[in-house]
Every structure is written in C-alpha cells, then in structure tokens.
Structure 1
Amino acid sequence: MRRKLASVVLLLMMLVVLAGSGRMESYNLPLTAATADTAEEVGAVVLVEFQRLVQERTNGYITVTLNTDGVFGGDRELIKGLQRGTVDLITCTAFKYAEYVPEFAVLDLPFLFFSTEHLRTVLTGTLGQVLMEKAWEKRGDYVLGYITDGPVNIASNRALASLSQGRGLRFRSLLLPSHRQTWEILGIIPVTLAFSEFKIGLQVGMIDAVETNYINYKKMRVYDTARFILQSEHYFPVQVLLLSKTAWQRIPLSYRDVVRECALEAIAYGSDELIWRNRETARELTEKYGVRITELSLAEKKTSRQRLVAFQEKTFADHGLKAIWPEVETSYQRYQAQAEVELERIRQSREKD
C-alpha cells in the first residue's frame, strides 16, 4: 500500500514539474507598440525593425504587437497612454514630448545641428543622456533612443539662392515659438498656417514658401506650385523612442541590455533608411519633375548660425541646460570647420583641373 501511495505521489510530482516546465516554455512578455506614423514613415520603420530584432534575439520571449497610422491616436494620446497602460512602447516627436518634459524643446531649435552626423554626436553625448534622465525623473518614461529622418529645406514658388532673399516672403514654418523667434531674428516673418493646409496656401497665394523634407514635398505634390528648393538643412526633426516605466520594470534584468541594443540598431536602420530615401527623392525630383534645388552656401549658413547663437544659448539656459551648451556649440564648430576644410580641398582640386 505504501509503495502504491509513494508511486502515486511521485507521479503527481512529475506531472506538476512537467506542467510547470511547459508553462515556462510557453510564457512570454508581450509589448504593445504604437506610432502615429504611417508604415512608410520613420517611426513605423524603426518599430518594425525593433519588433524583428527583439523577438529574434530573445527567442520569442519578448513579443511586440505593432500599431501604426495613429490607431492609438496622435502623439499626445500615445504619450499619455504610456502612463495609463494602454501602450508600452511608442515613437513621438520631440516637440510634442516637450509639452510633458520641457527640456526636450531644445532639440527643435532650427540651425542647432550642422548635419545628421552632428545631431547623432550630440544625442549620444551629454545632452542625450541628460534628456533621458529628465524623462525618467519627471514621467518614468525610459528613453531607448532618438530617431531622425533627415533635414528640412525651404520650398518656394520663386528661386532662392540665399536666406536673405526670403525676407518679405510669406513663409510657413513649424508652429512653435522657438521657430518663429528664429526666423524673426533672421528677418523673416512666418505665417501661421496648419501643415495640412500649406499646399492650398501655396496655390491661392496665402504663402510663398514652406519648409519640408523631400519625401513630403513629393508626397504632397508641392512641386505643382513651388518648384524651387533652397537646400538649407536648417532643421532636423527628432522623434523619441519611449518605453513605459511599467514595461521597463517587467523586463527581466537579463534581457534589458538586449532590448537596448535592439532599439539602437533599429533606430540606426530606420534613420539611415529614411535619410537614404530622402536623398533618392531629391534626385528623382530634379530628374523627373524638373525641380530646381539650390544648396545654401556654407558661408551663409555660418552667418545665420552666428546670429542665432545667443538665442540658442539662452534657450538652453531657460531649460536648465546651460552647462551642456558649450559641448553642443563646440561640436558644431568642429563639424563646420571640417566642412570648410573639405570645401577648400574641392576648390583647390578644381583649380588644378
């Protein structure tokens, strides 16, 4: 009898262990990701790549359900959703996130970054780290990284060779106080007009010029009314890849480095892909649609930046980031100097030819 009882107990114990091990194998950590971007835009491209990488490298332990095209709402709804628990992982524009963590507003200063490479240098430096800390302190959001899809230029219904020629033009810029102040310092008074209305504004003569990247310029067929582009590269839109505090704390310590690595790789992939598409679109616009693209001279870019330095430094100070400004400014000067050296090398090479 005792032997039979012992056998039954042993059998039950084995069943419990097997059932437990089965549960462990089937258990996973689901994350709900969302962006207001369409499937072709940079936020969605980054999330798709992150989904692929993290599921592959955790052997399916972490799974990501992806929602694009604003299914969960716009940036504000997504940001709020991180704390409400309706979403775990999002991309949103830095200027929208600045409504909740004001320090992020400095990222949207026009003429702050010399190039995409400069932007990446700054955001992998002290500024990027401090902003990550502010997001965690003020909201409990974990910043996985910063996304960009390339610079913004000025499209106009008349040829512009310089920014100074834009004075007197009715120019539609991004509806942010820092942008308006920037253009006013440069002698250009922006016109208030919603992004969705700027093509109509060009058609009916409400405005003469707008700022946009090449992809949106083509997508909205702006070339129908504004065939001239001044390649000013004055503004580099930034998106933030954010994970909620709850989601971050649910991720086991052994997987956190993997999540961070996957995020950075996905950001690099998505940003590079959209920057490449922008460049290819620029080539297509000139070859197929007859758009005239004029590059802003380095000398004028330098002059414009010099006029804005005091305002930019004050903006950093107003947001408690005064100590970081010298690092940003020094790195800008370094990239500018490199460009000047390269320009001189090209000039001398042409003279020899």
Structure 2
Amino acid sequence: MGMMKRLTAALAVATVLGGGLVAANAQEVVLRSADTHPDGYPTVEAVKFMSDVLKKETDGRISIQVFDSHQLGEEKETIEQTKFGVIDLNRVNFAPMNGIVPATIVPCMPYIFTSKENMRSVMDGPIGEDILKAFEPAGYVGLAVYDSGARSFYNSKHPIKTLEDLKGLKFRVIQSDLFVDMVNALGANATPMAYGEVYSGLQTGLIDGAENNWPSYESSKHFEVAKYYSLDQHSQCPEVLMMSKVSWDKLSPEDQTAVRDAAKQSVTKMRELWDAQEEKSRKIVEAAGVEINEVDPAPFVKAMDPIYEKYADTPELKDLVKRIRDTQK
C-alpha cells in the first residue's frame, strides 16, 4: 500500500475513533504508538513499559497501545501520520528525520561517538535535550532517545584492521547518501541494497560485506556467509520516541509532564533489554566461529573529514559537532 493510501486509511480510522488520541471514555485516553520493529524488540517493550508507568501515575487514565511490526506503515509513512496527529507516538531512527530536523544529522555522523557510554552520556545530557527540542518546530515533540546499537563492518574475505583492508571490497549500505559517501571515503565500494537482499548478495558474491549491529548481524544470519566482524563502530545513530504536536497540545500541562516523565523512565528499560540482546547475539555468532577483531579508529576517523565538511555544513551543525567532541576531551 502506498504512503497516501496508508495515510487516507489511517485518517479514516482516526475519524471513526475520534482522532489519533483516542478517548476510551470521558476520563481515559489511549495513545496510539507506531514501531516498525516486531513484538518483543527492545523499543517495543520500552514503550509498553512507558504505558505501564503512565497508567500507574494517572490511575489508569492514560495508556499506550503499541502497533508493532510496521502495522501502521514503514517509518517514512508513520512520520507523516504522526505530524497530522493520526498517530500519537512514534519510534523512528534519527536517520529518516535528517531532512526534517537538521540537528538529527550530527548524531548520525560517522565516528561522532567514541563509545556506547559516550553516546548515552551525550544524549542524556544538555546536547540530547537540545536535539529533542529541535523536533517541535517541525510538528513533533521529542520525548526520549533510544539506542540502535553500534554498526560495524563484516565481510566474507578477511579481517578489516586498517583502511588498506577495505580497499576494493563491495559493501552493502542502507539507501542513504551519508552512508554511501562514508564507505566510499574509507576506500571501499558502497552498494545501496535492500536489507532483505543482503544474505543472498553475500552468498553469491554480489557484495563482499555489509555493516550493522550485533543483533541484526545475528538475527539476519549474515554471520553464516560473512564470518569476519571488525569492531570499528562507525555509526551509533540513535532512535527517537516522539509525539505528534497535535496530540501533545490536547493534553493538559500535568498530563504532558506525566507523558514526558514516563518516556524518560522507559529509556532505562530499553537499554537493559538492548544490552542483553547484544550480549546474546554476540555469543551466538562467536559460537558459530565468527572471527572478531578490534580496530584502531584514528585513521578511519581522519578519513571522514570530507564527510563532515559536506554534511555538517551550517554554523549550527558545526557547533553541535564541536559540543559532542568536547565531551570526549
């Protein structure tokens, strides 16, 4: 179903229900939340946890119904629906928001964070709060930042320890100019490709490798056909839980505070689940004989200078880059 058809259908449902923010009765409010990930995924479970917190804090008056497994559409479609208030809450990666909220570009830049701990500290602090505030002029309320893991390179040829090891290799990347430019700048050949085609591409030699986090590498079975995993951690682009400004404005100030507080509490739950999933996935691929190696990131980071010049191209974005890097000194 195309985006406009999905939006029309969702609007029709919302009309029947009285809008995206559904009033179950005069006192109760049920917020509709979208996620492309399946039931049980850390982000899905985190929003369910947020609903439990909200119900407790409001004596059952406010709750959240989570529509997982892209029931309400893919990320691009649900972003549109959220702006119009057809969907109240939405969990999406920062990447599809880059063209809507420019501040989201910086956390998606390659090697911007030095570790998972650095990313979490930055996004939990004033910098993260400023990025969340930048959602509002675009019609959204940024509530919380979730993890999406660290993406690293894996391939079927040999370990990647230096830039020289990347030369000539064909890597699948997501369909993103930033990712294409990043891989090419490292000396490899970027091949944009749908996620579902990667396994066969690796199996047939159409591509030599790809890049992703531990849970995706494991659950996709890519480790079966690409047994070299190199921990360069080039991207830790986070995810955002955001709310429609239309739906937000229907809430009282007290209820807005309750929603924001519950969202913040859900971050801890999401990270607990994510860390556990990463550990489980890594153990599975290690048991399967995958060769894992560490990488000195310094030469890789230096190779990204042209990418920063191209994408962090305004005074505001350059300042945001500087603020993040200052946390690492």
- CA distance 1:156–1:90, change in 2 (3 Å): same
Partner of 1:265: 265
Deviation at 1:259, TM superposition (A): 1.7
Across the two proteins, how many residue pairs are aligned to each other? 304
Partner of 1:145: 144
Partner of 2:107: 107
Deviation at 1:62, TM superposition (A): 0.7
- Does 1:72 pair with 2:76? no
Partner of 1:337: none
Partner of 2:134: 134
State the one-letter code of the partner of 1:255: D
Deviation at 1:227, TM superposition (A): 1.4
Alignment of 1:155-194 (within 5 A): 155-164=154-163, 165-194=165-194
Partner of 1:154: 153
Deviation at 1:30, TM superposition (A): 2.0
8 Å contact kept, 2:180–2:191: no
- CA distance 1:39–1:120, change in 2 (3 Å): same
Residue by residue over 1:277-301, the C-alpha shift from the partner in whole angstroms, topping out at 9 and shown as x without a partner, is 11221122212x12221122xxx20
Residue by residue over 1:206-261, the C-alpha shift from the partner in whole angstroms, topping out at 9 and shown as x without a partner, is 01111122212221211221112112221113211011112212222123322212
- Does 1:33 pair with 2:33? yes
Partner of 2:321: 325
CA–CA separation in structure 2 for the residues paired with 1:45 and 1:313: 38
- CA distance 1:264–1:309, change in 2 (3 Å): farther
Give aligned-pair identity as a percent. Answer: 20
> What TM-score results when the alignment is normalised by the length of structure 2?
0.86
- Does 1:56 pair with 2:56? yes
Alignment of 1:219-238 (within 5 A): 219-238=219-238
8 Å contact kept, 1:160–1:166: no
- CA distance 1:40–1:163, change in 2 (3 Å): farther
SS of 1:321's equivalent? Answer: helix
8 Å contact kept, 2:36–2:74: yes
SS of 2:229's equivalent? Answer: strand
- Does 1:305 pair with 2:301? yes
Task: State the superposition RMSD in angstroms.
Answer: 2.0
CA–CA separation in structure 2 for the residues paired with 1:148 and 1:208: 27
- CA distance 1:156–1:55, change in 2 (3 Å): same
CA–CA separation in structure 2 for the residues paired with 1:45 and 1:37: 10
The structure carrying a bigger helix percent of its residues is 1
8 Å contact kept, 1:145–1:241: yes
CA–CA separation in structure 2 for the residues paired with 1:63 and 1:326: 39
8 Å contact kept, 2:52–2:63: no
Deviation at 1:126, TM superposition (A): 4.3
Bigger Rg over Cα: 1
Deviation at 1:316, TM superposition (A): 2.5
- Does 1:243 pair with 2:243? yes
CA–CA separation in structure 2 for the residues paired with 1:75 and 1:322: 27
8 Å contact kept, 1:47–1:266: yes
Deviation at 1:183, TM superposition (A): 2.1
Partner of 2:8: none
Residue by residue over 1:119-152, the C-alpha shift from the partner in whole angstroms, topping out at 9 and shown as x without a partner, is 1222234442332232111x22100011113211
CA–CA separation in structure 2 for the residues paired with 1:319 and 1:206: 41
SS of 1:285's equivalent? Answer: helix
Partner of 1:290: 289
CA–CA separation in structure 2 for the residues paired with 1:145 and 1:313: 29
CA–CA separation in structure 2 for the residues paired with 1:43 and 1:182: 27
CA–CA separation in structure 2 for the residues paired with 1:172 and 1:163: 19
